[in-house]
Amino acid sequence: MKNLLVLVRHGESIWNKKNLFTGWKDVDLTTRGIEEAHAAGKNLKARGITFDIAFTSKLIRAQKTLTIMLEELGQTGLETIEEQALNERNYGDLTGLNKDDAREKWGEEQVHIWRRSFDIPPPGGESLKDTAERVLPYFRQKILPVVLSGKSVLVAAHGNSLRALIMELDNLERDEVTKLNLATGAPIIYELDENGQPISKSE
């Protein structure tokens, strides 16, 4: 397929497992996360997909997921661009807190608003709207033109940075994207037309 864009959320991280708000904290993958990354690479290899270039964030959990996937694909030397704009949402004062402890401190309703509203950030952090405002310009300027040149592009990033991309690609409303949950280590495969609109989407 031409004009191929594959999005993958990193495998399970140590703080995912501990139910902590992670954000920009640079934490590694768990054993399960490593296994998920291997499975994602094998999944794409079984479909006969290879890539011309890859993009990832500045955080080790996404970079390591990408490295493992490329090993499975036999593409360890692939050109890879690391970009802070693809980082996870910054959770500010919530970073490092257990989600249950945060609910006890601020209340269930307030933490739910911070986690799931579109434009209300936690103290010192980013909302999903803020995240989209750094992810989408980078996508439009640096990633999409490569895809539209006929290339196959792999993006290994994070739940919220990828939700921002999917909001754009799938033309989701604000309330739709706030309900969107992405599994760790599960490729989402888009084929785009010449205008950057999805022709097909598979998981």
Name the average pLDDT for the chain. 96
Residue 185 has pLDDT above 80, yes or no: yes
Exposure letters 159-176 (e unless 16+ CB within 10 A, then b): bbbbbbbbbbbeeeeeee
Task: Locate the domains of the chain by residue range.
Answer: 4-202
Q: Among 130-139, 155-164, 170-179, where is mean pLDDT lowest?
A: 170-179
User: Could you tell me which CATH class the domain 4-202 is placed in?
Assistant: alpha beta
Residue 180 has pLDDT above 80, yes or no: yes
For the chain, what percent of residues have pLDDT higher than 90? 95
CB atoms within 10 A of CB 201: 14
Residue 62 has pLDDT above 90, yes or no: yes
Tell me what the mean pLDDT of segment 164-192 comes to. Answer: 94
Distance, CA of 61 to CA of 112 (rounded, Å): 25
Distance, CA of 7 to CA of 57 (rounded, Å): 12
Distance, CA of 36 to CA of 151 (rounded, Å): 25
pTM: 0.95
Please report the pLDDT score of residue 124 as a whole number: 96
pLDDT (tens digit, 9 = 90+) per residue, 145-154? 999 999 999 9
Please report the pLDDT score of residue 2 as a whole number: 83
E-strand stretches of the chain: 4-9, 53-56, 80-82, 152-157, 188-192, 198-202
CA nearest 156: which of 32, 14, 44?
A: 44
Please report the pLDDT score of residue 70 as a whole number: 98
Tell me what the mean pLDDT of segment 157-171 comes to. Answer: 96
Please report the pLDDT score of residue 149 as a whole number: 96
Please report the pLDDT score of residue 116 as a whole number: 86
Residue 1 has pLDDT above 80, yes or no: no
What are residue 69's phi and psi, to 5 degrees? Answer: -60, -45
Please report the pLDDT score of residue 22 as a whole number: 95
Catalytic residues: 10, 88
Bridge partners (DSSP) listed for residue 154: 6, 54
> Cβ distance 73 to 45 under 8 Å?
yes
> Cβ distance 167 to 159 under 8 Å?
no
pLDDT (tens digit, 9 = 90+) per residue, 89-147? 999 999 999 999 999 999 999 999 998 889 999 999 999 999 999 999 999 999 999 99
Give residue 179's pLDDT band: very low, low, confident or very high (50, 70, 90). Answer: confident
Q: Which helix (H) or strand (E) holds 102?
A: helix 99-106
More confident residue, 12 or 179: 12
